[in-house]
């Protein structure tokens, strides 16, 4: 079959594929520890489900405005104002089918063929592929462990060219858990403004931070605000991955173009899920309850990794630990053997652009984490 060149080399999402494989094995009755899933193991809160059921009963089951229902946009605006110190009007908000569609629509709206999109590595699996699907060029900047896997101003400068269109910034980051500080963001913002580069700020893990709070780069100055498109959603913060509600906030004209793209692809986000998301914004305390549990799990895993003698990067946010493979083995084969021999699913670092590393998600029960860490220990010790 002759496929279009933009899809010929696109690979499936490794995070989704491995997690699906773990669920498949589990369905056969085998006990698999799923450290691959990038979704909270907590159930969607009752108050959200209730609102969805009400929406169905009230017949809110038809198309909504393309860019989302007005009430939800208002709730998002309130949240961005109160929590991120960002001011938007309804025409600057687009509700999408997950944050992923927001990223896709944005890159479709601004990238010409050949435009470069800067992606600091390690990166979330879908960024380069979405850029490829837009016929733009993913420009991968390898960051260093000594810098906490964060993009430094000098690295950024050295990659900027006349073709640079967008910088993708993800803080807290998936898979490393890196969280950018005010001063780090200020320097990046200053460079982006000087060169007129758009910033796609993926803030989907903002509520899951441990020692420091998340800061949105868009809030640093009016200049950077104009260039930044903030992407967020309810998936991670309210355990609503399957509801597929994300949102984007940014320049009115860009949002309007993104909305046109959306009108020809998904028409609008799911109506029932939008009403459910509205309930989430009305109960903004829920994420902090999950955070208590995430912190306990993170600290336990880090302690165990130290005992086993595995080096890692301490996550300051998110629910992933990125750890180093001690042997020379490549990350895919390590992950495959761990799954085959110990029934523990993890995602190989190569999927995030970093060989020699593994991502472990702690969005799974404490009981499973204890069992899974024992299995990892046995696996690593066996290999010497
Ligand atoms: N973002 C999550 C992850 O990295 C969910 C799966 C996905 O869409 O990649 O595992």
The predicted-structure confidence for 143-171, as pLDDT tens digits, reads as follows 999 999 999 999 999 999 999 999 999 99
DSSP category for residue 138: E
Query: Which residue owns the Cα nearest ligand 1 atom 9?
Result: 15
| Nearest atom, ligand 1, residue 361 CA | 10
| Nearest atom, ligand 1, residue 37 CA | 10
> Looking at residue 53, what is its pLDDT?
98
> Looking at residue 88, what is its pLDDT?
98
DSSP category for residue 51: H
Question: Sheet containing 357-361: which strands, arranged edge to edge?
Answer: 312-313, 320-324, 357-361, 347-348
Query: Which residue owns the Cα nearest ligand 1 atom 3?
Result: 38
pLDDT tens for residues 199-255?
Answer: 999 999 999 999 999 999 999 999 999 999 999 999 999 999 999 999 999 999 999
10 Å Cβ neighbour count for 40? 23
10 Å Cβ neighbour count for 364? 23
Tokens 């993800």 -> residue: 170
> Looking at residue 19, what is its pLDDT?
83
pTM above 0.85, yes or no: yes
Which one, of 252, 270, 287, lies nearest residue 66 by Cα?
270
Q: Which residues contact 190 (CB under 8 A, 6 or more apart)?
A: 153
> Looking at residue 113, what is its pLDDT?
94
Distance from C-alpha of 180 to C-alpha of 80, rounded to nearest angstrom:
19
Domains of the chain: 5-44+286-383 (3.90.1150.10), 46-282 (3.40.640.10)
- Pocket lining for ligand 1, CB < 6 angstroms: 13, 15-16, 38-39, 124-126, 174
Mutate to test the pocket of ligand 1, among 15, 96, 129, 175 (most ligand atoms within 8 A of CB): 15
Q: Is 231 helix (H, G, I), strand (E, B) or coil?
A: strand
Low-confidence ranges of the chain (pLDDT < 70): none
Distance from C-alpha of 138 to C-alpha of 121, rounded to nearest angstrom:
11
Tokens of 292: 């208590």
| Nearest atom, ligand 1, residue 175 CA | 4
């Amino acid at each position: 079959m002759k496929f279009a060149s933009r899809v010929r080399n696109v690979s499936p999402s490794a995070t989704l594929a491995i997690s699906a494989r773990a669920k498949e094995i589990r369905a056969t009755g085998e006990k698999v520890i799923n450290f691959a899933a990038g979704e909270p193991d907590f159930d969607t809160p009752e108050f959200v489900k209730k609102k969805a059921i009400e929406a169905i009963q009230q017949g809110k089951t038809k198309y909504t405005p393309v860019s989302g229902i007005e009430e939800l946009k208002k709730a998002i605006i309130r949240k961005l104002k109160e929590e991120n110190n960002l001011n938007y009007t309804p025409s600057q908000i687009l509700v999408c089918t997950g944050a992923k569609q927001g990223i896709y629509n944005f890159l479709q709206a601004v990238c010409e063929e050949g435009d470069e999109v800067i992606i600091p590595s390690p990166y979330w699996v879908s960024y380069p592929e979405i850029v490829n699907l837009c016929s733009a060029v993913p420009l991968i900047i390898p960051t260093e462990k000594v810098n906490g896997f964060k993009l430094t101003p000098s690295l950024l400068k050295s990659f900027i060219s006349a073709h640079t269109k967008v910088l993708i910034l993800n803080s807290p980051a998936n898979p490393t858990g890196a969280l950018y500080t005010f001063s780090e963001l200020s320097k990046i913002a200053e460079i982006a403004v000087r060169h007129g580069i758009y910033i796609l700020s993926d803030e989907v893990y903002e509520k899951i931070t441990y020692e420091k709070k998340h800061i949105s780069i868009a809030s640093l100055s009016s200049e950077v605000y104009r260039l930044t498109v903030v992407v967020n959603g309810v998936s991670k913060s309210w355990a609503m991955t399957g509801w597929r509600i994300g949102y984007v906030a940014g320049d009115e004209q860009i949002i309007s173009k993104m909305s046109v793209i959306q009108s020809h692809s998904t028409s609008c986000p799911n109506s029932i899920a939008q009403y459910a998301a509205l309930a989430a914004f009305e109960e903004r305390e829920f994420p902090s309850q999950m955070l208590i549990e995430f912190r306990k799990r993170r600290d336990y895993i880090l302690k165990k990794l130290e005992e086993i003698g595995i080096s890692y990067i301490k996550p300051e946010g998110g629910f992933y630990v990125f750890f180093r493979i001690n042997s020379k083995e490549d990350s895919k084969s390590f992950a495959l053997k761990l799954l085959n021999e110990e029934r523990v699913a993890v995602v190989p670092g190569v999927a995030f652009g970093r060989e020699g590393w593994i991502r472990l998600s702690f969005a799974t029960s404490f009981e499973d984490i204890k069992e899974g860490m024992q299995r990892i220990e046995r696996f690593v010790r066996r290999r010497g």
